[in-house]
Amino acid sequence: MWTKIARLILRKKALLLSLVVLATAFMAYQALDIRISYKFSRILPVDNPISIAYDEFRDQFGEAGNAVVLGVANDGFWTPEGLDTWKRLSDSILSIEGVENVLSLANAYNLKVDEQKGEFAASTVMDKVPTTQEGVDSIKSVFYNLPFYKGMLYSEDGKVELMIARIASDKLYNAEIIRIVDRIRKVSTHFEEATGIQVRVSGLPYIRMANTEKVKKEVYLFIFLTFLVTAVILGLFLKSLRAVGVSLIVVVIGVIWSFGLISSFNYEISLLSSLIPPLVIVIGVPNAIFLINKYHSEYREHGNKILALQRVIRKIGNVTMLTNTTTALGFAAFILTDSITLVQFGVVASVNIMVVFFLSIIIIPIMYTFLAPPKERHYKHLDRKWVIGMVEFLQGAVVHHRRLIYIGTVVFVSLGIWGMGMVHTTGNLTEDFGEDDPLYIDLKYLESAFHGVVPMEIIIDTHEDHGVERGSFLKKVDRLQESLDSIPETSRSVSIIDFLKFSRQAFMGGNPNMYKFPSSTERNWIAEYLPQDQTENPLLRSMVDSLGSKARITLQVPDLPTPLMEELEAEVQKRIATVFDTDEYTTTITGASVVFLAGTSYLIKNLIQSLLLAIAVISIIMAFLFGSARMVIVSIVPNLIPLVMTAGIMGFFGIPLKPSTILVFSIAFGISVDDTLHFLAKYRQELKSNGWRIGKAVLAAIHETGISMFYTSIVLFFGFTIFIASDFGGTVSLGILVSITLFFAMFANLLILPAFLMSVEKWINAKSFNENIIEVYEGFDEDDEDEEKNELPAK
């Protein structure tokens, strides 16, 4: 089959190149419509109970994660100039298209009783900006005597003031959010310049905007750095500009296809999918190295350019296809998860890897047909002293020092297992931001003042219309809020009870000591002073559903790591259970904090499953290729050892298990198996030709594939280290850990795998290899070779 494929590629090169150019042009056109995601990646499936509960909450009570919060320390704030600038900041933000409303001191309301009309009257705390310090002090006194705003617009210690800007729901998840948040940031900078008071900005829209901006910046940065690093390394190794140029042409086209595929599938660029273009470069370059090294080796042997290219396709094409298939399957395992984000990543990455293979096997041989035959300097790198010395060292170690290899392996694996026991799980909204990032600093500042900015919502269903109006139910909600407010990690909770307390305070002349839950009689009095139709009151609509059967309690929590968030959620659930009988009421905890916590746990579980699935699928492929369960063990174990060692490093250095770090194992395993396949394919070929002498076949395989495996491993190692340049902590961890894992994998495939084969010479013999697919692919008979020489002109 590969004989025919080789002839087709070399004889129909004009047609094939035209098809590649046309297809790439189409993908480039598709890439023009590529969109970037302005949402947090949706991890949970839409039919997950937690997803369903959150969607229902938003349908009934409106969007909760739409607030941008701005906090300032009030040193120098309570002055006529300070209040005037604060009001102008509030007005400026409110004037931004897409901002629904702004809540701050500048427009906060105070309730009073209008005896003449017999109803409550709302008036702003600050009717106009005072011009004297006495006027400022009067407003401050009124404001700080309204407990309704305590923990909401001013901190409990009275040292920090807050402004809350809510974004329209139709602007939250598209490019408009960038414009809106950027404008808020600019006007807040004007406030800082005018007052000298630093403005702290946070909130879910702000965090999302920062995520999106960094993704947009880094996707192009990584592509540039990956091109640069791989080009330099290829140049150093191959010492040939034409080899570097041909390789980069392939990966440039691969990158165009990666963007085109994302757009063609109607996906958006997210933090995860932004890694695909640089991954294509890093994974695509090894194809070029193996093909070009084999071409140089073949040409050096007989001096016939076309014959060398045809043999490259026939001898390396099959194995390269298999290695790319195993890598693609490692990514394709994500498709079987229920996470939309992982499925999209798996689809595009796996398809792209196979596309790069076909591009490599078509473009590289065809490009070399147009170039002059290689000169001695082009393949001199194969005979470098240090390269020959490295190969001889590996051969000597495998023959004479296997015991030392095994002792070292046992020691490192033992340390890895020990370190694995120290690995802990985490995951939070700002896990990928550095501690010196302004966003992280502002978030922690506001958390310290208000105990959190991430929403947690509690929904209590009475199962009857107007059930929330019952006195017994309202008392239970008040008891629950008192209990929740005693949790140190949470902000003050807010519900319909706070509206009743605010009304009672107003009814009692504004005395702050009267901000308490009203009695049954007082509630009747309050009801008489309320306007008749309250069904469209936005405050009530945000606290009670349209049927009056469900009540909402909202609170803010810190952006805690997964274990601490789990403890906090369990504590909240425990306190709910002590107040509300589950037989009578249905209670649900939801909100962005709960969804993210569940999503992190769900993603970690799915990534572990996908890794196990990838190992299982690749093991099956190995069994199919080699027809031997023994060979599956010998080929898979050396690729599991690097994973254990990397997990151990994570434990020893305190690197947590989270979505970005678990991804390491699937990526690294799929890539490292490539070298195993290259080695075993050559090993199997040598076995057949030398009468099944395993020792000789192992040494020949090291000599033939060792150089290319070393080159590709170094390219992969440095290719993944470019992710260290990321501003996302998770991407940095991904780059470092994949590089380390592939470095370990290189030694596993060049030392441990050959040592295994040498040691089990009696256990693995000719009977371990049935007639199978790799035998059909790998060889070609002498008749074919003679036909080649007769048909093809010497070049």
pLDDT digits (tens, 9 = 90+) for 60-116: 888 778 899 999 998 889 999 999 999 999 999 999 999 999 999 999 999 888 877
Enumerate domains of the chain plus CATH numbers. 2-40+209-420+597-783 (1.20.1640.10), 66-202 (3.30.70)
Ranked by mean pLDDT, the top range of 35-44, 160-169, 293-302, 416-425 is 160-169
Encoded amino acid at 675, one letter: D
In this prediction, residues 630-644 reach a mean pLDDT of 86
Report phi then psi at 268, rounded to 5: -115, 155
Helix (H) / strand (E) element for 101: namely: strand 99-103
By CB atoms closer than 10 A (0-12, 13-18, 19+), residue 283 is buried
Over 90: is that where the pLDDT of 40 sits? no
In this prediction, residues 687-691 reach a mean pLDDT of 74
Rounded alpha-carbon distances, angstroms, from residue 107 to 110, 129, 761: 10, 11, 83
Position 118 scores a pLDDT of 77
pLDDT in tens, 732-754: 888 899 899 988 988 898 899 89
Q: Tally Cβ neighbours within 10 Å of residue 781.
A: 9
pLDDT grade, residue 336 (50/70/90)? confident
Position 175 scores a pLDDT of 85
pLDDT in tens, 124-177: 999 889 999 999 999 999 999 999 999 999 999 989 999 999 999 888 888 898
Rounded alpha-carbon distances, angstroms, from residue 657 to 56, 563, 569, 697, 761: 31, 11, 20, 41, 39
Q: What is the DSSP string of 159-228?
A: -EEEEEEEEPGGGTTSTHHHHHHHHHHHHHHHHHHHH-PPEEEESHHHHHHHHHHHHHHHHHHHHHHHHH
Q: Tally Cβ neighbours within 10 Å of residue 657.
A: 20
pLDDT in tens, 279-301: 888 888 888 888 888 888 888 88
Q: Given CA atoms 692, 747, 677, 295 in this order, what sign does their dihedral have?
A: negative
CA–CA separation, 351 vs 577, rounded Å?
49
